[in-house]
Amino acid sequence: MVRRHEPTDAAWARIEPLLPVNTGPGGRRRDHRQVINQILWKIRTGADRRDVPERYGPWQTLYQRFRRWSADGTWDRLPAHVQVHDDAIGVVDRSAVCVDSTIVRAHQYAAGARKKGSGRGRNRHGRGGQALGRSRGGPAGKIHLACDGRGLPPAFVVTAGNVNDRARLIDVVEAIRIGRTGPGRPRVRPGHLIADKGYSTGIIRAYPRRRRIPHTIPERADQLAARARRGHRRCGFDRDRHRRRNVIERCFNRLKRFRGIATRYDKPATHYRAAITITGLMLWLNHDPQNTP
């Protein structure tokens, strides 16, 4: 019986060939599918790995394989393969790429991580350390996400919770790389970039213009007032197109149904990024075309 948080047979057939060969010394290895179901159960419930049900096997197997695949890039290869396949059959909607962020509170288990490099200087932005910072509600991180017109995430960046959203928009857009089945460069340019007024700055607007990416970003009230005082005209704004931005709110909602994403329990940032990658992969695999906006 396939439980609701587990990949279906069709989904499993798409990712199984990409997993490492399950051989090696030490006797019979635990089946990959059973271990992935075990990992998904933990992310879905947010429970401690030691509380994983016995039907999935020993918790040590979960930890060892999850950590090993986080380090060797296995988790990153799975969604990349799925995105290449979906793009090849023409179902990836790049006509509207939305960018936004959400705050994630850190549990005391995560907040006890090594503090060196987690809140100051270069590592404050999540490029090193543990991507945790002090926000109004205590230790927290942020997920900066891009999603396509179907509400599926092709790229994300994890930073400390005290990092400004505007500082990471360029990083998120630059992280979008959908490969091709044959020769050719990956697809990296959104058809249209949509964001809320929190991203309305001169630097952010200059970036898509420089890359020739059409964009829809509303201006803040103070910016509109300043333009009026100077006698300048307003930036063009397509209200109907901007309404499509709600797909990213729905994407965050689906991600945070997994309690291990809504609250961060992992100390290492690499483990939390891997959990988001796995959850995003499940969204891609379980996407129903009938629910496309």
**194 phi, psi to nearest 5 deg:** -125, 135
**pLDDT 10s digits, 237-286:** 788 888 999 999 999 999 999 999 999 999 899 999 999 999 999 999 98
Q: Are 140 and 122 in contact (CB under 8 A)?
A: no
**pLDDT 10s digits, 25-36:** 544 567 899 999
AA letter at 254: R
Which of 29-33, 176-180, 289-293 has the highest mean predicted lDDT (pLDDT)? 176-180
Q: What's the pLDDT at 25?
A: 53
Q: What's the pLDDT at 120?
A: 39
Give the span between the Cα atoms of 162 and 170, in whole angstroms. 17
In angstroms, the Cα distances linking 53 to 33, 57, 74, 135, 236 are 15, 8, 25, 35, 55
Q: Which helix (H) or strand (E) holds 216?
A: strand 215-216
pLDDT band at 153 (very low <50, low <70, confident <90, very high): very high
Q: Which residues contact 258 (CB under 8 A, 6 or more apart)?
A: 43, 44, 46, 275, 279
pLDDT over 50 (residue 121): no
Q: What's the pLDDT at 30?
A: 72
**286 phi, psi to nearest 5 deg:** -100, 10
| Average pLDDT, rounded, for the chain | 86
Please provide the size of the chain in residues.
Answer: 293
**Interior/surface letters 123-157, b for 16+ CB within 10 angstroms, e for the rest:** bbbbeebbbbbebeeebbbbbbbbbbbbbbbbbbb
Question: How many whole angstroms from its chain centre is CA 106?
Answer: 17
**222 phi, psi to nearest 5 deg:** -65, -35
Q: Using CB atoms within 10 Å of the CB of residue 122, give its burial: 0 to 12 exposed, 13 to 18 middle, 19+ buried.
A: exposed
Q: What's the pLDDT at 292?
A: 53
User: Which conformational region is residue 129 in: left (phi greater than 0), alpha (psi within -120 to 50 degrees), or beta?
Assistant: left
Give the span between the Cα atoms of 47 and 159, in whole angstroms. 23
Q: What's the pLDDT at 2?
A: 80
pLDDT over 90 (residue 184): no
Q: Residue 126 is encoded by which pair of tokens?
A: 């999540």
Architecture of domain 92-264: 2-Layer Sandwich (3.30)
pLDDT over 70 (residue 38): yes
Q: Residue 65 is encoded by which pair of tokens?
A: 């394989």
Q: Report, as an integer, the average pLDDT of 39-52.
A: 92
